[in-house]
Amino acid sequence: MADPHPHGPKPSRLTPGRIGLYVFLIAAALFFLLPLYTMVVTSLKTMEEIRQGRIFALPSTLDFTAWKTAWSGACMGTECLGVRVGFWNSVKITVPAVVISVFTGAVNGYALSFWRPKGSGFLFGLLMAGGLIPYQIFLYPLVRLLANLSLYNSIAGVVLVHVIFGLPLVTLLFRNYFVAIPEELCKAARVDGAGFWRIFFEIMLPMSVPMVVVASIFQFTGIWNDFLIGLVFAGRDNLPMTIQLNNIVNTTMGERNYNVNMAATILTAIVPLAIYFFSGRWFVRGVAAGAVKG
Amino acid sequence: MQSAVSIKDLKIAYGDHTVIEKMSIDVAEREFLVLLGPSGCGKSTLLNAIAGLQDITSGETWISGRNVTWEEPKDRGIGMVFQSYALYPRMTVKKNLSFGLRVAGLPKAEIEARVARTASLLHLEQLLDRRPAELSGGQRQRVAIGRALVREVDVFLFDEPLSNLDAKLRNELRVEIKKLHQSLGNTMIYVTHDQVEALTLADRIAIMKDGVIQQLASPSEIYHRPTNLFVAGFIGAPAMNFIEGEISFKDGTPVFDSNGLSIDLSAYPFIAPTKAGPVTLGVRPEHIAPDGRAKGWPTMSGTVSVVEPMGSDAVVWFDWAEQSFSYRVMGDVHIEPGATIAPGFDIAKASLFGADGARL
């Protein structure tokens, strides 16, 4: 048979390569979803059902008592208050740390790209160098510093440390975003009489909403998932959720409550998970949304 | 008469690199001055310095009789239009226009009135509620011009405002800017690298090279009597034809000799009495004519290499003494490549440059 005369749209064909690709993608998705599935079903089972050892089986009845226990009754050592306390500590640490670090980073990036004070290039290099050094190196000096400032073992102290460690990345993000914006925009605003802060708040910040979202997501997940800084600086009363989860899971008094552990873990992970889930489209829009020339 | 903008001994340098060296210009009130030059000649830097957006090394800037050397851009009484439009992307056209007035804290009614007046002047009424992203390039630049006009200042600065537009829009907006200048009568300083814009818009053109003004004169003067080889070569499309040669004296009259061509220079308007020596003769393409011989003009015979029809006229390229020359004919004249021609040129309209490049 002769080849068909080509006209109109090119017909799509399912090649073996394509099929192989889809098989691989589906397998990969299953591989990563399986642990989540196991966690969800285990958390909904009773301990009797778990003891039967069929970890992939669906629960016979939906039992939410493990979730209730995890939230408000699970024991950490001798205290049985659940992950609730840690959740609110994490919120108290994460929210101000994200807001302050993103705002400061945005101002830094704006000043570095549009105003370029003397020595700003050196300062930026220093900041980047600071971002490359592993932060374990800073732990002891920082502990001494915060102790001298009477901020050790306090929420404010942890927030400060998170802001410091977040600044290099956030500054870099905003600097690179603002550097791509024509300098003339800033000049035009100066001719119009606007000063440093007015240009920042009325022109640059509204333009950089996508970047604010991206930076906030980075910072939020990083700070929420942090373990070490919270452990070192927060103090016993302000431990974030990650540390509490660890303590709950590692507390052994009698039987290991796998269902409660699973529920507590999901509760801890759900916040960053939800943020990724609902802000995905901002990630996609990302940095490309700033076109001035159109 | 008091000058609107005046620059005195201005110097701009970054470390050892001098961008502008000891420059002084006086721009008269209601004048349209164009700063023209190749990229990197310092023309935009100069404009930014006038606006107060560029730090200067030494010198003074005076605007409307005030020494504004140390003043902020907003206090200098200027409006500025940028190449990239620089519209505030998250504001509507109306907000863009009124931003400067709101910053200055003008009463609401006054802002409304000024925005309305500017919008009608530039035909922006229909666009007031749109965002810059929803406008075409030409509309954006009109808004940018409006943002300068709404400030109701004496001096407007334009930094290559039409460079980002396509050819058709550029022509339209060029006419609009010229009309605006005629109706408003403000002082305008306009930076461009496009010689057509410079020639059509300017009262005076300042041609710059390496931070130095080469010639500051009316477009006609610059075109017809370029002061040096750089200006002669920069202005005009197709470019001026240059012939290297030598001046000698025969019976007291200067004669130009080059490759067997000998031209009596008694018709040439010398600035000062000339001496014998090497020179460059420059002839504009439109001062070469196929029937030049009949007028008694010196002729150069050669072979046509290329003909470029441009609609209304055509450019004929021919070779003489292993060099390419061009001249302009009406668009309906037919000349085939390979033909042998002997056009003549008008020595009275030519330009002669000495060995140092300066006009003789």
DSSP string for chain A: -PPPPP-SSPPP---HHHHHHHHHHHHHHHHHHHHHHHHHHHHTS-HHHHHTT-TTSPPSS---HHHHHHHHT-EETTEE--THHHHHHHHHHHHHHHHHHHHHHHHHHHIIIII--TTHHHHHHHHHHHHHS-THHHHHHHHHHHHHTT-TTSHHHHHHHHHHHHHHHHHHHHHHHHHTS-HHHHHHHHHTT--HHHHIIIIIHHHTHHHHHHHHHHHHHHHHT--HHHHHHS-GGG--HHHHHHHHHH--SSS--HHHHHHHHHHHHHHHHHHHHHHHHHHHHGGGGG-S--
A198: which chain B residues are within 8 Å (Cβ-Cβ)? 103
Same domain, B163 and B52: yes
* Alpha carbons A32 and A49: distance in angstroms, whole number: 24
Same domain, B225 and B305: no
What's the confidence (pLDDT) of residue A286?
Answer: 55
Same domain, B7 and B117: yes
- In this complex, the residue of A185, A191, A291 whose CB is nearest that of residue B51 is A191
Q: Which two tokens stand for residue B44?
A: 């935009």
* Alpha carbons B178 and B198: distance in angstroms, whole number: 11
- In this complex, the residue of B74, B87, B140 whose CB is nearest that of residue A191 is B74
* Alpha carbons B68 and B74: distance in angstroms, whole number: 11
Any B CB within 8 A of A294 CB:
yes
Same domain, B224 and B271: no
Q: Are A293 and B164 an interchain contact pair (Cβ–Cβ within 8 Å)?
A: yes
Counted across chains A and B, CB pairs separated by less than 8 A come out at 78
Residues recorded for chain B: 360
Q: Are A191 and B87 an interchain contact pair (Cβ–Cβ within 8 Å)?
A: no
Q: Is residue B359 part of a domain?
A: no
Query: Of B203, B234, B265, which residue constitutes the final position of a domain?
Result: B234
Q: What's the order of all strands across the beta sheet hosting B3-14?
A: B17-28, B3-14, B58-63, B66-67
Task: Report the 3 state secondary structure along B309-321.
Answer: ECCCEEEEEEEEC
| Number of domains present in the structure of chain B | 2
Q: Which two tokens stand for residue B312?
A: 């209304």
* Alpha carbons A208 and A151: distance in angstroms, whole number: 33
Task: Report the 3 state secondary structure along A26-81.
Answer: HHHHHHHHHHHHHHHHHHCCCHHHHHCCCCCCCCCCCCCHHHHHHHHCCEECCEEC
Residues of chain A where predicted confidence (pLDDT) is lower than 70: 1-3, 252-254, 282-294
Q: Which of A153, A187, A115, A145 is nearest to B49 (CA)?
A: A187
Q: Is residue B257 part of a domain?
A: yes
Any B CB within 8 A of A285 CB:
no
Nearest CA in chain A to B73: A191
Q: Do the Cβ atoms of B12 and B54 come closer than 8 Å?
A: yes
Q: Are A292 and B87 an interchain contact pair (Cβ–Cβ within 8 Å)?
A: yes
Same domain, B227 and B245: no
Same domain, B182 and B77: yes
Model pLDDT for residues B108-145, shown as the tens digit of each residue:
999 999 999 999 999 999 999 999 999 998 899 999 99
Q: Residue B230 corresponds to which amino acid?
A: F
Q: Are B103 and A192 an interchain contact pair (Cβ–Cβ within 8 Å)?
A: yes
Q: Which two tokens stand for residue B63?
A: 């605007």
Residue B119 to residues B26, B112, B128, B144, B153, Cα–Cα distance (Å):
32, 10, 8, 11, 16
Q: Are B82 and A293 an interchain contact pair (Cβ–Cβ within 8 Å)?
A: no
Model pLDDT for residues B157-177, shown as the tens digit of each residue:
999 999 888 888 899 999 999
Model pLDDT for residues B70-86, shown as the tens digit of each residue:
999 999 999 999 998 89
What's the confidence (pLDDT) of residue B294?
Answer: 75
Same domain, B298 and B165: no
* Alpha carbons B188 and B178: distance in angstroms, whole number: 10
What's the confidence (pLDDT) of residue A287?
Answer: 44
Residue pointed to by tokens 């009424």: B125
B99: which chain A residues are within 8 Å (Cβ-Cβ)? 189, 192, 194, 202
Residue among A190, A191, A293 with most chain B CBs within 10 A, to mutate: A191
Please, which pLDDT band fits residue B91 given cuts at 50, 70 and 90? very high
Q: Domain A92-240 has what CATH class?
A: mainly alpha
The residue that leads in pLDDT, A287 or B302, is B302
Q: Is residue B358 part of a domain?
A: no
- Write out the residues of chain B at the interface with chain A, using a CB-CB cutoff of 8 A: 48, 51, 53, 72-74, 78-80, 82-90, 99-100, 103-104, 132-133, 137, 140, 144, 147, 151, 159, 164
Please give the biggest Cα pair distance in chain A.
87
Same domain, B227 and B262: no
What is the residue range of B113's domain? 3-234
Average pLDDT, chain B: 91
Four-residue CA torsion sign, B295, B299, B304, B306:
negative
Q: Is residue B82 part of a domain?
A: yes
What's the confidence (pLDDT) of residue A130?
Answer: 85
Report the SS3 class of residue B348: helix
Q: Are A192 and B84 an interchain contact pair (Cβ–Cβ within 8 Å)?
A: no
Q: Are B99 and A192 an interchain contact pair (Cβ–Cβ within 8 Å)?
A: yes
Determine what percent of chain B is predicted with pLDDT higher than 70.
100
Burial of A32 (0-12, 13-18, 19+ CB in 10 A): exposed
Q: Do the Cβ atoms of B53 and B2 come closer than 8 Å?
A: no
Same domain, B144 and B252: no
Least confident of B13-17, B31-35, B214-218: B13-17
Q: Is residue B178 part of a domain?
A: yes
Q: Do the Cβ atoms of B46 and B192 come closer than 8 Å?
A: no
* Alpha carbons B115 and B99: distance in angstroms, whole number: 10
Q: Residue B328 corresponds to which amino acid?
A: R
What's the confidence (pLDDT) of residue A78?
Answer: 72
Same domain, B50 and B187: yes
Cα angle A163-A164-A170, degrees, rounded to a multiple of 5? 70
Task: Find the CATH number of the domain harbouring B136.
Answer: 3.40.50.300
Shortest distance between the Cα of A221 and any Cα of chain B, in A, equals 29
Residues recorded for chain A: 294
- Domain coordinates in residue numbering, chain A: 92-240
Give the number of C-alpha atoms closer than 13 A to the C-alpha of residue A130, restricted to the C-beta side.
Answer: 16
Q: Is residue B143 part of a domain?
A: yes
Residue A216 to residues A222, A286, B120, Cα–Cα distance (Å):
10, 12, 43
Same domain, B160 and B256: no
* Alpha carbons A268 and A34: distance in angstroms, whole number: 18
What's the confidence (pLDDT) of residue A292?
Answer: 41
Q: Are B51 and A206 an interchain contact pair (Cβ–Cβ within 8 Å)?
A: no
B53: which chain A residues are within 8 Å (Cβ-Cβ)? 187, 190-191
Shortest distance between the Cα of B100 and any Cα of chain A, in A, equals 4
Q: Are A189 and B85 an interchain contact pair (Cβ–Cβ within 8 Å)?
A: no
Q: Do the Cβ atoms of B288 and B241 come closer than 8 Å?
A: yes
* Alpha carbons A276 and B44: distance in angstroms, whole number: 46
Q: Which two tokens stand for residue A169?
A: 């990345």
Query: Of B234, B262, B279, which residue constitutes the final position of a domain?
Result: B234
Q: Tell me the CA end-to-end span of chain A in Å, nearest whole number.
A: 50
Q: Residue A140 corresponds to which amino acid?
A: Y
Query: Of B234, B255, B271, which residue constitutes the final position of a domain?
Result: B234
**Residues 171..210 of A with a Cβ closer than 8 Å to B: which?**
182, 184-185, 187-194, 198, 202-203, 206-207
Q: Are B86 and A193 an interchain contact pair (Cβ–Cβ within 8 Å)?
A: no
Same domain, B106 and B195: yes
Model pLDDT for residues A67-103, shown as the tens digit of each residue:
888 888 877 777 778 888 889 999 999 999 999 999 9
* Alpha carbons A27 and B359: distance in angstroms, whole number: 80
Q: Are A188 and B147 an interchain contact pair (Cβ–Cβ within 8 Å)?
A: yes
- DSSP state, residue B360: -
Q: Which of A139, A167, A89 is nearest to A147 (CA)?
A: A139
Q: Residue B40 corresponds to which amino acid?
A: G
Partners of residue B13 on adjacent β-strands: B18
Q: Are A187 and B82 an interchain contact pair (Cβ–Cβ within 8 Å)?
A: yes
* Alpha carbons B278 and B261: distance in angstroms, whole number: 14
Shortest distance between the Cα of B134 and any Cα of chain A, in A, equals 9
**Could you please report the per-residue DSSP string of B85-150?**
----TTS-HHHHHHHHHHHTT--HHHHHHHHHHHHHHTT-GGGTTS-GGGS-HHHHHHHHHHHHHT
Task: Find the CATH number of the domain harbouring B277.
Answer: 2.40.50.140
